[in-house]
Structure 1
């Protein structure tokens, strides 16, 4: 191969390495950057198996190399070495004893990981959250506090939270890699997983079971915060939307209530009580819209309202034909829902 051609090829050979490094960058939704006890045990098991497999692979390569080099050195020489028990002990130790010890250790470590990732019983946790997967967003309910929100789960730091998951349409899968394993959401069935964060943070979750056109854009966040901040957030979420304090916000509310939005969405304290789409009572307090499709900013929200199919093709929300002033009033009203 000419130097010029090899010079052309070596950058393309780096492409897989660069992609691999890019995939490992950061700690966003990373299974090896645990933020919870269960995820820490899963990551520990993964590292042990990775390092162990690398060591075993390296030892096997060395032994193969030694055998090949020795055979090459002895090729054509008379067999003068007496055959003893060494030839018997090597396969016994290397093929039976060592694998048995390694597998027994991995089995014990796996049992410990299974214990830490098993869901907590209903009576052993002080907080229960119910999550329903829908195409393509997450319906979140705190049954004891009578709170309903969407795509954002708040939990207190250091407290095991029982999360009961189900599906409203097709099979989904609930997964927060930095907190625990994934668990399937099956229509007509309720499964359970426990989330416990070791520190404050925002942990990204994702649907891990193909569920249709927008499966890749079905994300959510788990917000872990100190207990007092969580209690304050939950108390605020339990309140209905406050009445519009001025004429501009009242106009925005009338735009909302006079449109088809009321048949799909709920705003507590008004006659909007739809259950098809996400609850919007405290929409402005959330970080994202459309299950992670965009940031919760006026510009992103305006684009979503006018043409949601352009932002997230296939979702069940139709577009609107609001005038400029109507859209502005509606945005100001929605931004007041905190």
Structure 2
């Protein structure tokens, strides 16, 4: 009898790199990460390999080289459309402790002419409030393709596009969250992609230690980016605590520490009433925590566009006062 050993699947090597035990496992090189993500994006892996790869990577924790390689694989297959945008604003976490005040910051900045692309991966965790759920309330354009994004940016300077509309392969991986029981590294990767090549990519990474890795990955890619540990995982400065900025400009890393804006911590609301956002926008009521969060988040975005910290806060106050409250 002639027994033939079945050939190993080409993707098996990448599962082995990550899962070969405490002594045998290692980080992937940038080139290996690029090849592995390329196979994932091209649908050249089995579902069992996909799940194993994502969970092993989550357990190991992805590093800057891997993030850069993953991003390069995506960009090779999805070249950025020629649409001018100032800020790339990923929104993938959802909020559960405070309202998503960052949305008012983005609206006020857009009213001043700053072009902002927001994107997100859907409401995947119960008990959280997501950007996608509030677009109608706050009159933020929902777009389903790049042509709609271009029109929204031209007319409103602000557009939101779901991840599934421009990266369905990645959305499928994110949707495995409830099958695998954990978020996968794709939640982190989506924040770094900057699909339109914005002047500055804002990123919020909640888990300690990941902020510097994301900043360094953007640096390897030659992108201008700023990373924070945003409130709840969204790009929103918590005014009750100090905020560390991890930046990269022209390949050079920089750090900046912003002190808390409030001497005392605000009481967390018992429930999240989204209508409060619209009321504060229209000037019908005030919210001490929310308005400080909006101010600091606007300043953060302006800092990412090159303003010094002090100037950014002054400009944030001016732009908030000049917002179009009817919109």
Q: Using structure 2 for the length normalisation, give the TM-score.
A: 0.26
Which gives a bigger RCO, structure 1 or 2 (Cα 8 Å, sep 6+)? 2
Q: TM-score, normalised by structure 1?
A: 0.26
Bigger Cα Rg: 1
